[in-house]
Structure 1
Amino acid sequence: MEVFNDIANRFKLPQNKVKLIGDQYSGPPSSFRIATLAQGLIAAVAAVSLELMSTENKVATVDTLHSVAEFHSEQLLTCDGKKIPSSSLYPIGGHHKTRDGWVRIHDGYTHHIKGSYELATGKEMVSRDPKVLKAELADALLKWKAVDFETEAAKRRLPVSAVRSYSEWDEDKNVDLLDFPVTITKTGDSSVIPLNGPLALSGEKVLELNRVIAAPVCGKVLAAHGADNTWVTSPNLPTAPELDVEFTKGKRRVNLDLENEEDMKTLWDMIEETDMFIQSYAPGSLEKRLGLPLKDIHTRNKSIIVGTLSAYGLGEWHDKKGFDSLVQAASGMNVSEGEYFGLDLGVPKPCPCQVLDHAAGYFLALGLMISRLRQTHEGGSYMVEVSLAGVMAYLRKLGQSADYIDAPVLTSELLQGTDILQEEDSQFGNLSFVSHPIRIGGVELNWNMSKWDS
């Protein structure tokens, strides 16, 4: 209850309308309190949803196991009974030993793999055999110092992090951390905007420019609560089908080339007509295209709510690219997790799920929904900001324990006999995926799957 109570107290949300239930699962296997964060945060979103619905007699329930499953959703997704193949053709990512420590390389896209390999080895990537590439990369990295490789990779905009301990992270002070993962800033004035009902976000238009997991989670949550979402993708960017299928449920897709003047005009037209705008592109890249700082978008749309997600938020690393796995590595999480699991000093161990991504998505949804609630009382436009590093700091403050390191790994088999997994026929095939974890009045919220075909 502590996470839910903390958030509810911060934002003056009612606590008597949401019930946190279930004690049948103590995992996942981690020293971090993932279940506590997941359930409490999802419960806070449920509380805001009830406020937006202005319902007096309905109660929301949020189950522990369902909440943890939600934070593993991309791992549990299957299509026609099988995992969707990864977009990473030459997987070389993960933790790699260096001359003085470790680095974490993200290999979600081919250009990331090619860039990291060629930086480490000093030669062109010719082989297409993942085993050969990984072995050559491992040998080459043993000649590098971890921070030196991280620094050179950053110059090339490659997603790499040196693995640090908590003490090293705290000493480096690359990030200015706030006391809470979400900041909500009123950016302009507008008239009061009434709600449309019957769901919390019925009739609200949401425009998304995002990729991978964190910000798409936010949009997925908003869609489950009634929002009309449009996800903008680009022909110039590689796809990640194993993620896109999971995180675009309930969203229609629009393909725009942001290097094309006419498509940029179309994007601005969409921004001017939307209620909420979510973006998680590399810091500064979208603002350059728009020709306007994100905090000033309200000058073109007086009642817009802008949600923006970054890896590191404020500080020296404010413009640094990052992913969940990299923030875990850089911030000390992986080293600390390794210590709890009895690994040798300094040997990193990743968390069993992308906890920072999923939590950041829910924190961003929370901020957007609270901003919408404020519009019903005082109008205005708002800017909501969340960083993965800020979520990390919040999770770290919850403390760690060895109590659950032997808990069973969360799998679809573990969920058999529950109603957590949902099946749906789609253009991709028969999907099995984690249903939305919030039930209001005993009714499960869901997504409008027909938008996939629109």
Structure 2
Amino acid sequence: MPGESAAGLVRRVWGELGRDPVALERLGPIPEAPLPARLDAGGLVAGAVAIASLAAAASDADRRPIALDGDRIATAVTSERWFALEGAPPSVWAPLSGFRRSADGWVRTHANYPHHEHALRRALHVAVDASPAEVDRAIAARTSAELVASVTAAGGLCVEVRAERPSEDAALRERPLVDLGGSGGTRRSGSGDAARPLAGLRVLDLTRVIAGPVATRTLALLGAEVLRVDGRAQPEIGWQHLDTGAGKRSTMLDLADGADRRRFGELLDGADAVALGYRPAGLERLGLSPDELVDRHPRLVVGAVSAWGFDGANADRRGFDSLVQAETGIAVLEGDADAPGALPAQVLDHATGYLLAAAVTSMLHGAAGGARVARLSLRRTAAELLGMPRTDAPLPQPALAAEAAASHLVEFTTPLGAVRVAKPALDTADGTSEWPAGPRPWGADRAEWMPVVADGR
């Protein structure tokens, strides 16, 4: 029966968050999000959206039932298919990103960012203008293990496509999906109401790509002031930033520059929450690990997401949703005898993002057992998906049609032109669930919080 695995996920994670089980009575049936796959991709992401919706509405006194829409959820998690800038769709995957045959199997590369593409080319000893066909030939001449080692050493991204490892996944599922830690400190309650429960609270967004930005745009939907901070050295992919940028502002600071570092410290002093999406070792080098942040800033809560986890040999590996799918066996399960396959959306990213938003919301409300740090990883989310019911059918349900998605899209006028993005997947307390503002261009805003208003802040 659709929704059973998602319902179990909701109950368990709600307990991990330390939330009152009575709130679960507000949740109606979890819909089936049309994301056709052998694994329960729709159930995973619908469950995560349900948890984020519950976290937003749990303190609402009117107890309005929470009703989710499967088509709206599917539209949100496949947003890259519907995004448009001035009517033009994006080029989602770079030519050198994807599955490629090695001498003894398959690998998956990720080269959407120019610096990762350059690293891949260096590792393969091909020219900077070598065609994808030339790259394929260079990959086909080497074993998967050789490719992973050389590309990783060069600073690029390449993983071996592997079969699932049930014992490893089962061990990971012994750990919480949302790992809470830290305690103490004093939190500001903000000035929110049922419609905008995080109004009056400030979130510093240090995330990129999908999972972290999905979490922080959700916090903006719930009323928080969200300021994303990026370095100037590695520009973000423009359409991707806009696709996940609704409701947020965006600025740039170089933390190696003394003045910028001082300005960043002032932003931290004014923040109520920080969202982290960079590798753990990199954050430690900058003095921005979750534990360091909460030690230095007693009012702060921190939500951190990584690709491969926060401990062990894999903790500091670079990674993206597509690579985690490839290495954990998901690509094999979703493929066929001829080639690996992929889930119909980056559901590891999206599900993790909504869970991170639920955790940060819970901590800001002081409703997570006093926790001040939440850690989530795409690898742990992948283990969750691999433990959910599955089917052998190649397409157990139809994909979302463009006509069904159309009513779940919204267009904003931005300095870059007309931008079309997906509407929020959540059911918020007042039932509106609309972005408070459109996305801002990357780095377009000043590195400052908005002025204090007359609500006691």
Which of the five TM-score ranges fits, normalised by the shorter chain?
0.7 to 0.9
The CA deviation at 1:302 is 0.1
8 Å Cα contact 2:122/2:154 also seen in 1: no
The CA deviation at 1:444 is 1.7
Query: Which structure 2 segments of 5+ residues have no match?
Result: 1-6, 446-457
Query: Partners of 1:361 and 1:440 in 2: how far apart?
Result: 17
5 Å matches for 1:148-187?
148-167=146-165, 178-187=174-183
Query: Partners of 1:166 and 1:397 in 2: how far apart?
Result: 11
Residue of structure 2 in register with 1:308 after alignment: 304
Residues 376-417 of structure 1 show CA distances to partners (whole Å, capped at 9, x for unaligned) of: x97x5611101000000011111211346154333533424x
Query: Partners of 1:393 and 1:425 in 2: how far apart?
Result: 40
Residue of structure 2 in register with 1:77 after alignment: 83
Query: Partners of 1:50 and 1:257 in 2: how far apart?
Result: 37
* Structure that is richer in strand per residue: 1
8 Å Cα contact 1:306/1:382 also seen in 2: yes
Query: Partners of 1:353 and 1:266 in 2: how far apart?
Result: 37
5 Å matches for 1:192-341?
193-198=188-193, 199-290=196-287, 293-313=289-309, 314-338=311-335
The CA deviation at 1:190 is 2.4
The CA deviation at 1:364 is 1.0
Query: Partners of 1:179 and 1:234 in 2: how far apart?
Result: 33
8 Å Cα contact 1:49/1:369 also seen in 2: yes
Q: Does 1:114 align with 2:118?
A: yes
Change (3 A) 1:328 1:447: same
1:140 to 128, 138, 143: 138
8 Å Cα contact 1:231/1:248 also seen in 2: no
Query: Partners of 1:450 and 1:434 in 2: how far apart?
Result: 11
8 Å Cα contact 1:272/1:300 also seen in 2: no
Residue of structure 2 in register with 1:50 after alignment: 57
Q: What secondary structure is seen at the aligned counterpart in 1 of 2:200? A: coil
8 Å Cα contact 2:164/2:328 also seen in 1: yes
8 Å Cα contact 1:201/1:222 also seen in 2: yes
8 Å Cα contact 1:84/1:241 also seen in 2: no
The CA deviation at 1:5 is 2.9
1:371 to 363, 372, 376: 363
1:422 to 410, 413, 418: 410
8 Å Cα contact 2:348/2:381 also seen in 1: yes
Change (3 A) 1:231 1:354: same
Q: What secondary structure is seen at the aligned counterpart in 1 of 2:286? A: helix
TM score, norm. by length of structure 1: 0.87
Change (3 A) 1:118 1:192: closer
Change (3 A) 1:50 1:432: same
5 Å matches for 1:378-397?
382-397=372-387
Residues 302-349 of structure 1 show CA distances to partners (whole Å, capped at 9, x for unaligned) of: 0211111111103221111100011111111101111xxx434xx311
Q: Does 1:36 align with 2:37?
A: no
8 Å Cα contact 2:56/2:429 also seen in 1: no
TM score, norm. by length of structure 2: 0.87
Q: Which residue identity is paired with 2:282?
A: S
The CA deviation at 1:450 is 6.5
Change (3 A) 1:35 1:451: closer
8 Å Cα contact 2:221/2:434 also seen in 1: yes
5 Å matches for 1:340-355?
342-344=336-338, 347-355=339-347
The CA deviation at 1:133 is 1.9
5 Å matches for 1:393-408?
393-403=383-393, 405=395, 407-408=397-398
Count of residue correspondences: 429
8 Å Cα contact 1:20/1:63 also seen in 2: no
Residues 104-151 of structure 1 show CA distances to partners (whole Å, capped at 9, x for unaligned) of: 00011112112112212x24x232xxxx52111111112211122112
